[in-house]
Amino acid sequence: MTIHKDFLQHHSRSTDTVVAAVADNCRFDERAGVARWQRFDDLLAEVTAGADGIQWQDWSETNRLHLERYYNVSSLNLPDAFLDINKDAWLDDLSDNQSVVRIEALTQPLQTSGLLLEDLDGLLQQADNGVSDALRVVQIFFDTWNQRRDARPAFVAFYDEVKQEADDVDWPHALRDRLGLGHYGLAGGAPLAVALMRYPLAEVFSAHREGSAACAMPTVLDNGMHEFFFPVPREHPYGATVHLSPDSADTLTAELVHCRIDYQREHLWRLGWIRDPRRLTDEQLREARDLHLITLQVECGREHFGEFLEGRL
Amino acid sequence: MIDRWFEAFRGDPEQAVADLFSGRAGVASSLRLDVPDLLYQAFPQHLASERAELDKALLSWLLDMRGHYPVQVKRLGFPVYGKRIGDALIALQVLDLPEARHQIRADIDTWLRWLLPLRLAPERDPALECFRLLTRGQPDTGHTAMWLRLATDPRPEYLTVSLAGLRLLPNQHNAQANQTLMLQALLRHAVQICHEVGAAHTFFNRHFAALRGHYPRGPQYWDRILTGALDGFVVHTKEHITREQLASELVDVLRSGVVTKPQHSKRTQTPTPAPASQEQWAGLKAEILNSSHQPETLARRLFELLEQNHVYAEATGISHFFVRTLHNLGSSLLEHHKLGQAEMVRFGVMIERALVWEPANFYCWMLWADWFRAQGHRDAHESTLREILRLFPNDLHARVELGRLLIRRGEYYWDEAGYWLQQAMDRDPGNEHSRVAMARLLVLRDRPGDAKALLVEFLEKEPESLKAREFLDRMRSGLQYASDDDTSDAGRENEVPATTDGGHSSVPPPAALTELFRRGRLGGEFSRARIAKAQGGVAPTDLIREETRRGDPLAGFYSQWLMLNSTPECPPHAWAWNACRYWQESASPDSWKQLAAQFPEAAMETDFLHILAVSHEYNQSGVAAWRTRYNPDVDAASPAAAFMGDTMGRIAAISPHERDEIAVAVLACAATGAPEFALEQSV
C-alpha cells in the first residue's frame, strides 16, 4: 500500500471500529499493486472536492466508484482481479479437481423466474427424478439467472476445508459465519433465500478467457473494504476469511476469487434461508480481528505483519 | 453501519438514498452488497411507512439522475451511470414498491427514451429492468401488445421479460388466456431467431415444457391451449411474420404433435372471445359508403365492432381484426361523414390503441395524420407526417402531404417543402400530386414560368393527369391558381392541441403526443439544417443540441450527422448515433461486424449500411447474402427492410448524394422506435 499513508494511519485510530478496520485493510494489504492503487487514487482525486483534503466519505465514495468501474464489471468485460494489472495476486497453480463452495443470494433469480424457494426446491427434486417438464423449468431458471449475472469475481472456499459447515443441517448460518459473510442477515431484516453452490475448479479453468487469470487472491480492492475482510501477508497462499463468531476467529479458512462461470443444475447443491443476523459488538469485533491477526502472523512467520487494534486508542 | 444509514434515512430519505448509491453512506460489511440486495434486506414487509418513503426517495433519485444526465454521465461514465440506474429499478422490483412503478408506467415512453441507450450487456440493461418492473402490478391488460412485441426481439433476456409480463397479466382467474399468450410469444420468438423448422421446434418445445412444468395440467388441457395459440399464430403470421414459410412449417409440426382432439367440455373450458364476423364488417362498410344514417349511429356501430375486436386482441394477442377494422372502416367513415366532437375523441383513442398493437402499421399512421387534419391540429398533423417519413422511408404520399402543409406554413418553410416535393417527384415521376404541389410552390415563389414548364413537361408524358391540366389551364387563363387550401398562413399562430379532445381542455397532452411533437420539431430542425448546409447556410439546431446533451438517441444521431466535431460521446446503446460515426469515419469491415454484434436487433441495418458505404466497389455476393439473410422482399417485411431491399436492387447505380440520403433515412428510421403509448387504461 503506497497511497495516503497519513490519512489511513489517522483513520486507523478511529473510535469507529469499522472505519479503523477498513483503514487497516488498506494499510496491511500487500497484494494490490501500485497500478491498481493508482486507479483508486485517480478516482479519489475526482471525488475529493474543496481545500479540506480527503474526508472519509470521499474514500468511501471512491471505493464504490472503483468497485463499479473495475470490480462489478459487465459480463462482456473482465474485472481487474484477473487482468495483468493484478498479476501479483493471480493463483496459477491450483489443482482443478478440487471442489469449491459459495453462497449465492437468490432473491433476484427467484423473482425473475416467478418462483418461490419452495417451488424451486420441489422442481429440482422432480427434475432429479426425471420429470422432463420440471427439468425444463430448472434449465430455464438457470438460463435466466445467468442472463442477469455480471462478471464480478466470485469468492469461494474449498469444500473439503468447510465440509463440516457445508454439510450441517443449518448450513446457511454455519457457512455464512465461517466464510465471514457478515452482509447476509440484518437484524430485523427480511429473510434471505440462498443457494449453496458447489463445483470443481476445472469448470472455472475451462470458462476463463485467454490472457487472463481464472483465479486470484482477494485483495482489499476486490470489495475488501469492510470489517470482515482481512488482508493476508504475502507468504500466505490464499486469502483467509474472518470468522463471524468471535470464539472462532483464529480459524483461518482459505478463500479465493475466480472468474465468472455459467451456473448449471449440477452446481446448485442445497437451498436454504438466512434468517438470523450475526451482530458483533465493537469490542467483539476488535478482539476477533486481533485474534485473526495473531493467527496470520503465526502461520506466516510474520510477527510484525499488521497492527493490533488493542491498545491503539 | 446499516443502522446508522437507516437513522439517516428516517431523517432525510432522499439524501440517504443518494448517499447509498454514491457510496458516501460509508464502507462496511452490510454496504458491500449491491443496493437492491441491501434495500431488500433492510426494508422487510412490515416496515410499511418506511417502504413508502423509500418508494418516493428512489423515484426522486431516478428523476434527479435523469434531470442531471450530462453532469452525471461526465462524472461517472456511462457504465457506472447505467449500473446505478439499473440498480434503482431492480430495487423497485425486488421490494415491489408501487408508487414509482405507477409513475413510470404512466410515462413509459419518456423513461424508455432515456433508458434504452444505456444498455451495456444483457444484465446491464436499464430499459429491460424498466420493462421487468412493469411486469409487476399490472392494473389491466393494456400492456399485452408491448409484451408480445418484446418477444419478437431476438435477445433471450427480452423473451424472458416478455413471458413474465404475459404471465402476470391480470386474468380474472383465467390463466388460460395468459398461457395462450405466452405460447404466442414463444412462437413469435422462435421464428424470429431460428432459420429452420427443426431448430424452431426444439426451441419451442423446450420452453413449452417449462411452461407445463410451471402449470402442471393434463395433456388435453395443454393440447387445447396449444391449438388456440396456433390458430391465432396462423392469423398473425400472414401479416407480420417475415419467415412465413418457416412459421407455417412450425405450425404444421406442432399441430401434428397434438394427440388429443380439442374438447368442448363446459366444465373445463373458459369461453374465448371472438372477433366481429365478416358479415357485420361488410354490412357496416356498405352502410358507411351508401346509407343516410346519422354519422353518430355509424360511429357507434364501428366502435362496438372495434371494442369486440379489441377484447379479442387482448385475449389472444391477435390484433389483426381490430387494426384492420379501424383503418379500413375508420378511414371510410372519416372520409364520407363528418363526425361530432365526442365521436372524434373516441376515434382518436381507437387510433392510439391500434398504434399500441401495431406501431409500424402505415395505415394507422396515415389515419392518425388524417384525423389530426380533420381536427384542425396542424402542428400534430405536421409531426405525424414527419414521423411517417421517418418510420416509412419509402412513402411518397406523406412527402407530398408534408410539402403541401409546409407551403401553407409560410415562406420560411418553402425550401423544405421543395425538398420533400422534389424527392416525391424523383421517386415517382408519374405522380401528378407532387408536380401540382411543386407548381404551386413555384408560383408562390414568383416563378410562374418554371411552374408552367414543369407542368407542360409532365403533361407531355402524362396527358391524362386532370389535376395538372386543370392547374395549368387556370394559370394560362390568369385565374387564381392557388386554392384556398394551399394559400400561405405565414404569421398565423398554429394551434398546438393541449389534448386530443380538440384543444378545449387545459389538460396537458398525453405523453405520446408530446413525444410526437418533440420528434416533429427535431425532424424539422434536422431537415432545415441539412438543406441550409447544402446551400452553404446555417439553420438553428437548438433543440437538437439540447436533446443530444440529454442523451436522446434520435437527436444524437441528427447532431452527429450535422455536427461531426461538436457532438458529445454517444451512449453505449444508441445504434444510429454509433453507426453514423462509423459511416462518417468510413469504418473497416471488422468495425462494422463489431457494430452488428453489439446491436443484434439492428444487424440488418448495420449490414446494409456497410454494403452501402462501399457501394462504389459493388459486391454482388454481399448483396445476395444480405437478401438471403434478411428476406426483405416478402409482404410482411418491415417498412425499413422493404426500403433497404428496394435500394439493394439498384445499389450499383446509386450516386454519392443519394447514398447519403439513403443512409440518413435508414439511420433515422432505426434511431428510435415508434412512441410507446401509455394508454389511460393501462396506467
Q: What distances in angstroms separate CA B441 from CA A288, B104, B415, B536, one per listed residue?
A: 87, 45, 10, 22
CB contact, 8 Å: A281 with chain B?
no
What does the alpha-carbon distance between residue B472 and residue B492 come to, in Å, rounded to a whole number?
A: 29
What does the alpha-carbon distance between residue B245 and residue B211 come to, in Å, rounded to a whole number?
A: 26
Listed as own residue / partner, the contacts of B302-307 with beta carbons closer than 8 Å and 24 or more positions apart are B302/B329, B302/B330, B302/B333, B303/B346, B303/B350, B305/B276, B305/B280, B305/B281, B305/B329, B306/B350
Sorting pLDDT into bands at 50, 70 and 90, what band is B495?
Answer: very low
The yes-or-no verdict on residue B492 having pLDDT over 60 is no
Q: How many CB atoms lie within 10 A of CB A74?
A: 20
- Chain A residues lying within 8 Å of B90, measured CB to CB: 108
What does the alpha-carbon distance between residue A76 and residue B464 come to, in Å, rounded to a whole number?
A: 63
Shortest distance between the Cα of A28 and any Cα of chain B, in A, equals 17
Sequence-ordered list of residues with C-beta below 8 angstroms from that of A72, at least 6 positions apart, any chain: A79, A150, A152, B34, B83
For chain A positions 108-167, those within 8 Å of chain B (CB to CB) are 108, 111-112, 114, 123, 126, 131-137, 139-140, 143-144, 147-150
pTM: 0.92
Q: List, for residues B133-157, the tens digit of each pLDDT value.
A: 999 999 999 999 999 999 999 999 9
pLDDT at B493: 36
Identify the DSSP state of B494: P
| Residue of chain A nearest B37, judged by CA positions | A107
What number is the average pLDDT over the span A87-104? 94
- Decide if B28 and A227 are in contact by the 8 Å CB cutoff: yes
CA end-to-end span of chain B, whole Å? 39
Among B75, B92, B80, B67, which Cα is nearest to B118's? B80
The top-scoring range by mean pLDDT among A1-10, A265-274, B239-248, B501-510 is: A265-274
pLDDT at B239: 77
Q: How many CB atoms lie within 10 A of CB A28?
A: 20
CB contact, 8 Å: A223 with chain B?
yes
Q: List, for residues B371-416, the tens digit of each pLDDT value.
A: 999 988 999 999 999 999 999 999 999 999 999 999 999 999 999 9
Q: List, for residues B517-559, the tens digit of each pLDDT value.
A: 999 999 999 999 999 999 999 999 999 999 999 999 999 999 9
| Residue of chain B nearest A56, judged by CA positions | B26
Q: What distances in angstroms separate CA B408 from CA B376, B412, B417, B491, one per listed residue?
A: 13, 10, 9, 11
| Cβ burial, residue A2 (10 Å; 0-12/13-18/19+) | exposed
**What is the dihedral angle through the alpha carbons of B449, B451, B457, B461, rounded to the nearest 10 degrees?**
-160
pLDDT at B262: 55
pLDDT at B499: 43
pLDDT at A9: 94
Sequence-ordered list of residues with C-beta below 8 angstroms from that of B213, at least 6 positions apart, any chain: A123, A126, A131, A133, A134, A135, A136, A137
pLDDT at B497: 44
The angle that helices B603-613 and B575-584 make with each other, rounded to 10 degrees, is 10
Q: List, for residues B549-580, the tens digit of each pLDDT value.
A: 999 999 999 999 999 889 999 999 999 999 99
What is the 3-class SS of B76-116, one letter each residue?
A: HCHHHHHHHHHHHHHHHHHHCCHHHHHHHHHCHHHHHHHHH
Q: Which residues of A82-105 are buried (b: 16+ CB within 10 A; e: fewer)?
A: bbebbebbbbeebeeeebbbbbbb
What does the alpha-carbon distance between residue B314 and residue B177 come to, in Å, rounded to a whole number?
A: 9
Average pLDDT, chain A: 94
Contact B593, B603 (CB under 8 A): no
Query: A240: part of which helix (H) or strand (E)?
Result: strand A239-241
What does the alpha-carbon distance between residue A113 and residue A137 come to, in Å, rounded to a whole number?
A: 9
C-alpha cell at B142: 393494456
What does the alpha-carbon distance between residue B275 and residue B273 come to, in Å, rounded to a whole number?
A: 7
What does the alpha-carbon distance between residue B124 and residue B121 come to, in Å, rounded to a whole number?
A: 5
The yes-or-no verdict on residue A104 having pLDDT over 90 is yes
Percent of chain B with pLDDT over 70: 92
pLDDT at B652: 85
Contact B164, B135 (CB under 8 A): yes
- Decide if B29 and A188 are in contact by the 8 Å CB cutoff: no
Side chain identity, residue B210? A
B interface test, pick of A136, A184, A220, A241 with most B CB neighbours within 10 Å: A136
Contact B246, B202 (CB under 8 A): no
| Residue of chain A nearest B75, judged by CA positions | A46
Q: List, for residues A56-76, the tens digit of each pLDDT value.
A: 999 999 999 999 999 999 999
B interface test, pick of A59, A111, A274 with most B CB neighbours within 10 Å: A111
What does the alpha-carbon distance between residue B474 and residue B481 come to, in Å, rounded to a whole number?
A: 6
Q: How many CB atoms lie within 10 A of CB B32?
A: 22
Q: List, for residues B7-51, the tens digit of each pLDDT value.
A: 999 999 999 999 999 999 987 887 788 999 999 999 999 999 999
- Chain A residues lying within 8 Å of B43, measured CB to CB: 190
Give strand pairing partners of A274: A192
Flag the least confident range among A165-174, A283-292, B479-488, B496-505. B496-505
Sorting pLDDT into bands at 50, 70 and 90, what band is B511?
Answer: low
Percent of chain B with pLDDT over 90: 72
Side chain identity, residue A215? C
3-state secondary structure of B379: helix
pLDDT at B426: 93
Sorting pLDDT into bands at 50, 70 and 90, what band is B638?
Answer: confident
Backbone CA torsion sign across B269, B273, B275, B278: positive
Phi, psi of A99 (to 5 degrees): -95, 145
What does the alpha-carbon distance between residue A105 and residue B119 come to, in Å, rounded to a whole number?
A: 24
- Decide if A60 and B122 are in contact by the 8 Å CB cutoff: no
Q: Which residues of A293-309 are buried (b: 16+ CB within 10 A; e: fewer)?
A: bebbbebbebeebbeeb
| Residue of chain B nearest A45, judged by CA positions | B75
- Chain A residues lying within 8 Å of B45, measured CB to CB: 190
pLDDT at B498: 43
Identify the DSSP state of B328: I
Q: Which residue's entry shows cell 435477445? A: B155
